[in-house]
Amino acid sequence: MRHRLLLLLVFLLPHETLSGTTAAASCNRWCGGTKVPYPFGFSDGCPIALSCDANTSTPILPYRGDNGTSPYHVVFFNSTASSFVVSLPPSCARSVSDVRKALSGRSYDVSFRTVLILRGGCRGSSDAAAGAGCSVPASAVSRLLRTAQCGRNDTSTEVACVASAAPNATVARAVSLFWEKVEEQKCDDVLTSAVFMNTAEGTVSPEFKTAELGWWVNGTCAGGEAGGQCVPQTATCSDVETPSGVSGYRCACMAGSYGDGYAAGDGCNVDPTWAKLIVGAALVTWALVVLILALCIISCICLCLCCHRRRRSNTKKTKQSLKALTTLFRGELVDGELDQGLSGPRRFSFEELAAATDNFSNDRALGRGGFGSVYQGFMSDMNREVAVKKVSETSHQGWKEFLSEVRIISRLRHRNLVQLIGWCHGGDELLLVYELMHNGSLDTHLYRSDYVLTWPVRYVATFCPQKKYVVTF
């Protein structure tokens, strides 16, 4: 969320708000044609002051040495590691005190990755622990001595190596070189130095004739020096534990921006190309979301339309099929004579009733008479048991009688009458579908051969139909 707020501020605020151009005017960062990163500079207004070699446009450390030794040129700045590298060519006339004064400045000191190679009458402790795992090949030392033209090349008696940490050690912070270890060797000169760099293969390799210096700005995050404050809201501030114990800090831009992080420096800026990519990605994302939603809505509409059309088509086909089957009955045109609308009995097809009664199986027969046969059936689409009356072909009941029976019974509504559910005629077949009475009809109980009702029961059934009695048969 904080990073999103940063991006919002970047797009809404003017560019000058994120970079301290006004305060930076008091710090000159140009050495000829070379510009150094803030907080370095070449004037009194810069938190870390350097000197300038005007002949080569090269920044150098401000301390030259008491014996007129060559200046310490800055090779490059490493903003990621908050360090910079200076050259330290081999020399037999560079005292330990001069090197300490040059490399241990007001706001910088030798980093933990740098080792010093000492020479000349080293009378101090030869304990390997003093070197903290420091080891330089003898062949490399001999080559350095020849380059410096120091005369004797006896590396075992004239050379010592000192480091603040082992070259392959994992250090969580920029530990500075312990100068007390260097002075304990009691050597005459600092021959040169080396920086142990990590290679692409994952190994550590020494880079001779250079020294790495870690830097900081004196003060604290709460109240830094004038011109050293971090950019509000867009930069972070980290405290630094300095070798001398003086409070120090560094500024760094948040993710999504670049710069030095200092209000008096370049501040924190957003790459316009990167910003356009972010905006473009956001627009593409929203476009995809809208497109997906639109496709979902269109798909739902199409699905509903297809279902509606299929339902209408099935209904139309059913009606056409029924109409085709019932065009004629025994040579008479009977279309439309029993259309009762939605409130009338249902019109079934012969196939539906045949399936419900297991093709009018004898096992489903409930009774037979002069009018025809009655079969028990089950309508799966209605989840209901029914009684299907199939008019016999030998019956005298014709189409008009069948039509009258359907019309009359469909209008009757009484609790003691079974309900007519539907009808059908397929070809010359006439069928009526009634509600199934599981206990049989009244005459079945009145005229049972195995049991005769008593007169009191018959009287109640005949003259008191409104009273409820439990009659046990």
**221, part of any domain:** no
Answer yes or no: do 46 and 139 share one domain.
Answer: yes
Boundaries of domain holding 174: 18-216
| CA geometry: angle 248, 252, 255, nearest 5 deg | 155
**pLDDT confidence of residue 15:** 42
Binding-site residues, in ranges, read 390
Taking the C-alpha atoms of residue 109 and residue 245, their distance in angstroms, rounded to an integer, is 12
Question: Residue 111: pLDDT band by 50, 70, 90 thresholds?
Answer: confident
166 in the same domain as 37: yes
pLDDT tens digits along 309-362: 888 776 666 555 555 444 555 556 555 556 555 467 888 888 999 999 999 999
**Bridge partners, 49 (sequence order):** 41
- Say yes or no: 188 and 321 in one domain: no
The one-letter amino acid at 40: F
- Of 236, 196, 241, nearest to 214 by C-alpha is 241
Instruction: Give the model's confidence band at 456: pLDDT under 50 very low, under 70 low, under 90 confident, else very high.
Output: confident
Q: Which residue has the tokens 């330290």?
A: 88
Binding residues for ATP: 390
Distance CA 338, CA 327 (A): 12
Place of tokens 């008096």: 264
Dihedral sign of CA atoms 235, 240, 246, 247 in order: positive
Paired sense of beta strands 51-53 and 83-87, if any: unpaired
408 vs 18: CA distance, rounded Å: 94
Q: Are residues 321 and 355 in the same domain?
A: no
Q: What pLDDT is stored for residue 77 in this prediction?
A: 93
> What is the CB-side half-sphere exposure of residue 357 using CA atoms within 13 A?
26
Distance CA 384, CA 382 (A): 5
pTM metric for this prediction: 0.53
pLDDT of amino acid 468: 43
* pLDDT at res. 453: 74
Which residues on adjacent β-strands are paired with residue 52?
59
Indicate whether 338 belongs to any domain. Answer: no
* Single-letter amino acid code for the residue at 113: R
> 454, 473 in Cβ contact below 8 A?
no
393 with 307, same domain: the answer is: no
Which tokens is 294 given?
Answer: 């639109």
At 205, the amino acid letter reads S
Q: Is residue 337 part of a domain?
A: no
- 23 and 122 in one domain? yes
64 plus 28 within the same structural domain = yes
Q: Which two tokens stand for residue 422?
A: 């539907």
351 located within any domain: yes
pLDDT at residue 177 tops 70: no
Most confident segment among 22-26, 276-280, 396-400: 276-280
Considering the domain boundaries, does residue 263 fall inside one?
no
The string of pLDDT tens digits covering residues 64-75 is: 666 656 788 999
Same domain, 198 and 55: yes
Of 227, 257, 302, which is closest to residue 29 (Cα–Cα)? 227
Tens-place pLDDT, residues 197-255: 877 787 878 889 999 999 999 888 876 554 568 888 888 898 888 887 888 899 998 88
Average pLDDT of the chain?
A: 77
What pLDDT does 320 receive?
Answer: 57
Q: What is the pLDDT of residue 331?
A: 58
Exposed, middle or buried by CB within 10 Å (0-12, 13-18, 19+), for 395?
A: middle
CA distance 130 to 234: 43
- According to the model, what pLDDT value does residue 358 have? 92
The answer to which of 251-255, 362-366, 457-461, 468-472 has the lowest mean pLDDT is: 468-472
Per-residue pLDDT, 294: 92
Q: Are 254 and 8 in contact (CB under 8 A)?
A: no
In a domain, 266, yes or no: no
Counted domains in the chain: 3
279 and 355 in a common domain: no
E strand map for 361-465: 365-368, 372-379, 384-391, 420-426, 429-435
Does the pLDDT of residue 385 top 90, yes or no? yes
Q: Which of 216, 231, 258 is the last residue of a domain?
A: 216
Q: Do 414 and 379 sit in the same domain of this protein?
A: yes
Helix%, strand%, coil% for the chain, nearest 5 = 30, 25, 45
Q: What percent of the chain has pLDDT over 90?
A: 18
CA angle at 279 for the pair 274 and 280, rounded to the nearest 5°: 95
Whether 8 maps to a domain, the answer reads: no
